[in-house]
Amino acid sequence: MAIPSLATSLCGIALSNPVLAASGTFGYGLEFEKLVDLDALGGLVVKGLSREPIEGNPPPRVYETVGGMINSIGLQNIGVRAFVSEKLPALARLRTAVFANVFGYRAEDYAEVVRVLEDHPGLAAYELNVSCPNTSHGGIYFSSDPTLLAGVVTAVKRVARRPVIVKLSPNVGAIEPLARAAESSGADALSLVNTFIALAIDAHTRRPRIGAGFGGLSGPAIKPIALRLVYQAARAVKIPVIGLGGISTGLDAAEFLIAGASAVQVGTANFWDPRSPVRIAAELADFLKREGVSNVSGLVGSLEM
């Protein structure tokens, strides 16, 4: 059998393979260029960008737990204006697709970050991190309220010429209403899942292991739940879905594609091996060859229930 093709497209964006580096796990990408060929990635999602710089949460910010890790970085970032002047020019020279992760605490914050990014080349699309409290509505999370979610997507779509991906949280009762709300308000794709709210305790000090108290659980421990949510979201909408949550091997990636994802993101695995996305793409190609699948698109949504 000929070498299987990993080439695919997402919202009209050509990808050499469907394995992307997830936001918050790969910095701004440039920090890793001495460790990994960035152009070998299917794409990379930079860490979240806000209107103004954010210092982040008090340490400790990361704690390794059974089957994964808990983090509470606090969305530390240099702010969108510093990003476009200090980071984006170098990123724009890459062949790989670069996605900007965007967050805010009001719909206007998201729209303003995207408005600034729209004036600069080098980005393929935006990914909206909606797992933030809406300060205009008493701290209700955008990710848990279909109406608030639709409002932020609509605000961004008014100013965005590039595709808009909405990153959904697993910390909800049902994923389908949120997926449909994002789609109906103009989202071009979904990515899921973000981290699960978690708590680790030091029994000796009787205090949290994380400086901010709660953190986000990621890694292999969440994979079965993430797979279920990706399957449910993909069945609920017609737009593409990007799957993430505990992917550390090519077989993991294949499972997410079979569940209905058109592409995947690798997150926690990058902390122990920044080359993980490239390795996982190679392992995915080997899996396709063994299974007699000529193109990676042949896996997408092939789950039989």
Q: How far apart are CA 79 and CA 56, in angstroms?
A: 12
Residue type for position 272: W
Return the pLDDT at 1.
65
Return the pLDDT at 114.
98
For residues 234 and 261, the answer to whether their CB atoms sit within 8 Å is yes
State the DSSP string of 128-141.
EE--SEEGGGTTEE
Return the pLDDT at 299.
97
CA contacts within 13 A on the Cβ side of 247: 38
- Catalytic residue positions, numbered: 132
To the nearest 10°, report the CA torsion of 120, 121, 122, 123.
70
Return the pLDDT at 76.
95
- Mean pLDDT across 129-139: 83
pLDDT tens string 43-76: 999 999 999 999 999 999 999 999 999 999 999 9
Domains of the chain, residue spans? 8-56+78-196+218-298
- 8-56+78-196+218-298 topology per CATH: TIM Barrel (3.20.20)
Q: Which two tokens stand for residue 211?
A: 């400086």
pLDDT tens string 226-246: 999 999 999 999 999 999 999
